Amino acid sequence: MCTLAHVFEAAGLATVTISAIRQVAERMRPPRVLHGEFPLGRPLGKPNDPEFQHDVLRRALSLLECDSGPVLEDYPVEVVGEEEPLGCTVPPRFDPELAPAVDEARGLRKAYDRAVARRGISDVGKAIDADGVPAALDVLQNIVNGTPWKEAGIPGGHTTALANDIRAYYEEAALELAGAPNAGGRQAEAWFFERTEAGKLILDVRKALASQGAPQPVWFYMAPMHRN
């Protein structure tokens, strides 16, 4: 959006940008920016709160009154994501000789199969199918344990697609186990990254890949930006 602001301004159109990442706005220097310290994907801060959202818009549009720029102002209220993780119990460990995430994924397979049978569709399949999830997690565990990422044999050769397949497998199984097919996406996200071995492993893999010197696109998009 910062780039588009410069394009529109060059065409004679005044712009206001609402920033999600302050460092990007500082680097790109669009003419008028209101930065909100909000959860990513929520540019107006609070869902289902028209008064708060209207105030964000009012403050942003008021920047059009500035005589000179670039102007970068911060919205005075920080909003922290408050989604409770999905209420889903992970199946107990079965084979302690397996890596925790591998054993965990195997335990979720029946729930995943029920979910696919009920829905008739699955988001798994960008890099691997459901059968490949345990083996893929084993590869990721090897990277965390020190295997160079170029020698690890990453399934599909695309870390982001692989991570998305693993997450889809888990979340579809979890929604089936919890009996909550309409649960919010952020609830499922919070459950995956905060309550499962696979979610923790993907975050560890990102750090391992970065420490091995892998290019940023290889590891950065494996998890949402606010997940560290």
Tens-digit pLDDT profile for residues 115-146: 999 999 999 999 999 999 999 999 999 999 99
225 or 174, which is more confident: 174
pLDDT above 60 (res 27): yes
Same domain, 105 and 186: yes
* Position 81 in a domain: no
What H or E segment, with its residue span, contains residue 193?
A: helix 185-195
Same domain, 68 and 116: no
* Position 93 in a domain: no
Same domain, 46 and 110: no
Provide, rounded to the nearest whole percent, the portion of the chain with pLDDT above 90.
66
Chain CA centroid to CA 99, Å: 24
Provide, rounded to the nearest whole percent, the portion of the chain with pLDDT above 70.
96
Report how far apart, in Å, the C-alpha atoms of 79 and of each of 34, 85, 165 are: 14, 18, 30
Q: How far apart are the first and last CA of the chain?
A: 24
Output the pLDDT for position 9.
86
* Position 85 in a domain: no
The total of structural domains in the chain comes to 2
Answer with the one of 40, 59, 74 that is the final residue of a domain: 74
pLDDT above 70 (res 180): no
Question: Which residues in 100-121 are b (16+ Cβ under 10 Å) and which e?
Answer: bbbbbbbbbbebbeebbeeeee
Same domain, 49 and 107: no
Same domain, 125 and 215: yes
pLDDT tens-digit series, residues 83-101:
677 778 888 889 999 999 9
The domain in which residue 41 lies consists of: 2-74
Same domain, 49 and 136: no
Instruction: Name the DSSP class of 82.
Output: -
> Global pTM?
0.71
Same domain, 116 and 197: yes
